[in-house]
């Protein structure tokens, strides 16, 4: 069974933490992953840096630019991840944009993901129809979950289609904006969370974008199976990326 499915079986209030590969330093990827698992994160989302990350806010964009300057590429990342499963047991997803993945080769990308122990991918700018027509077979053959995103602007018909063709979980984008830590949760977001909850989708759901602290995490968990924290963690890494600070950050969210 895929590790993502295993985590959702018997667990609630899942915490998925995003960080950019190769940030703040090129060789930090495995160390940060180990520290996050030790601190209590349930799932990891490793970002593949890209020069034009359309869904990312300034914090993650800045981390991507620094990672690229550090020398991070898809090839370098896979080389770093070749011993991933010696150190990390929880599910790991890669989040990246379609351009560098296409350049690497999607079939090859899926093969290497399976070899190093990646459980799922999130590719925000890969159209679902293109995925279904051309790439789904490669992902399924290698047991890699492909996670789609929905937002407040996604129609019910579209959400139902995404639910039908998703695996692992559905990424519920909390607002129609780019990523970034935001203060609190707005009433309109709560109505949106409730509407999605009442649709009783077959896939599990994690809420992301704007989840930044214990309060927003707990609110998200009332309406979904857990939450994804990214920008707030990247800001912490910029200030101090030590294992002890990573531990305090995660425990501050989940305590």
Please pick, among 45, 79, 111, 163, the residue that the annotation labels catalytic. 45
- Looking at the DSSP assignment, which residues form a beta bridge with residue 14? 226
Vertex 121 angle, CA 65 and 145, to 5°: 175
Question: Is 27 one of the catalytic residues?
Answer: no
C-alpha span between 232 and 215 (Å, rounded):
13
Which residues, 6+ apart, have CB-to-CB distance to 109 below 8 Å?
74, 101
Task: Report yes or no: 211 and 174 within 8 Å, Cβ to Cβ.
Answer: yes
Nearest to 53 by CA among 94, 18, 23, 97: 97
Strand order in the sheet with 149-150: 145-147, 120-122, 92-95, 43-47, 14-20, 226-229, 205-208, 170-173, 149-150
Residue with tokens 């079939």: 107
Compute φ and ψ for 150, nearest 5 degrees.
-125, 155
Nearest to 59 by CA among 247, 230, 243, 177: 230
Handedness of CA 96, 100, 106, 111 (dihedral sign): negative
Please pick, among 56, 111, 164, 225, the residue that the annotation labels catalytic. 56
H or E stretch at 146: strand 145-147
Question: Is 45 one of the catalytic residues?
Answer: yes
Active site residues: 45, 56
């Amino acid at each position: 069974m895929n590790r993502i499915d295993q985590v959702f079986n018997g667990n609630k209030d899942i915490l998925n933490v995003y960080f950019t590969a190769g940030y703040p330093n090129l060789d930090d990827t495995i160390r940060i992953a180990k520290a996050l698992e030790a601190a209590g994160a349930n799932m990891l989302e490793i970002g593949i840096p890209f020069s034009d990350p359309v869904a990312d806010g300034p914090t993650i964009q800045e981390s991507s630019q620094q990672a690229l300057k550090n020398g991070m590429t898809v090839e370098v990342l896979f080389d770093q991840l070749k011993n991933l499963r010696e150190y990390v047991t929880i599910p790991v997803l890669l989040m990246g944009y379609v351009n560098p993945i296409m350049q690497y080769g999607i079939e090859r990308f899926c093969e290497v993901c399976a070899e190093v122990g990646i459980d799922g991918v999130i590719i925000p700018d890969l159209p679902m129809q293109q995925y279904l027509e051309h790439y789904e077979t490669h992902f399924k053959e290698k047991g890699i979950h492909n996670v789609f995103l929905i937002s407040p602007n996604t129609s019910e018909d579209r959400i139902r289609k995404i639910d039908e063709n998703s695996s692992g979980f559905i990424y519920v984008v909390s607002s129609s904006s780019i990523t970034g830590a935001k203060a609190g949760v707005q009433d309109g977001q709560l109505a949106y969370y409730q509407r999605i909850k009442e649709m009783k989708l077959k896939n599990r759901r994690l809420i992301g974008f704007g989840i930044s602290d214990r309060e927003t995490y707990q609110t998200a968990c009332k309406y979904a199976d857990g939450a994804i924290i990214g920008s707030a963690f990247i800001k912490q890494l910029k200030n101090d990326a030590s294992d002890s600070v990573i531990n305090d950050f995660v425990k501050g969210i989940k305590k």
